[in-house]
Amino acid sequence: MPRGRWASLTVRLDLYERLRSLAASRGATMDELLRQLVGSVEAERSEAWTRCPLCGARLKASRLERHLERVHPRRQPPASWQPPSS
């Protein structure tokens, strides 16, 4: 999705009408509604992933503890590191 203005978004007419109705019920424009919807999906994705504090590997937050036990059994994370909140 473009970061600036929406260049073009092709949707079926019935979906467009439902989105327009939803935007009107929230007192928002279509652009504002779409940004809210896309932003909530991006937030969900960013919460689901984290990086290992020891090697920097990207992995799901729920698997971090298992990763530390299997890949780094003898190493401890830095004292400043805080585990992700679930």
Decide if 25 is inside a domain: yes
Asked, for residue 2, whether it belongs to a domain, the answer is no
- DSSP calls for 30-69: HHHHHHHHHHHHHHHHHHHEEE-TTT--EEEGGGHHHHHH
> Residue 39 belongs to what domain range?
13-71
Residue 2 in this model has a pLDDT that exceeds 70 = no
Q: Would you say residue 5 lies in a domain? A: no
pTM of the model: 0.42
Contact 50, 63 (CB under 8 A): no
pLDDT at 4 over 60: no
Q: Residues 10-54: pLDDT tens digits? A: 778 888 889 889 999 999 998 888 888 877 766 666 667 888 999
Q: In the chain, how many domains are there? A: 1
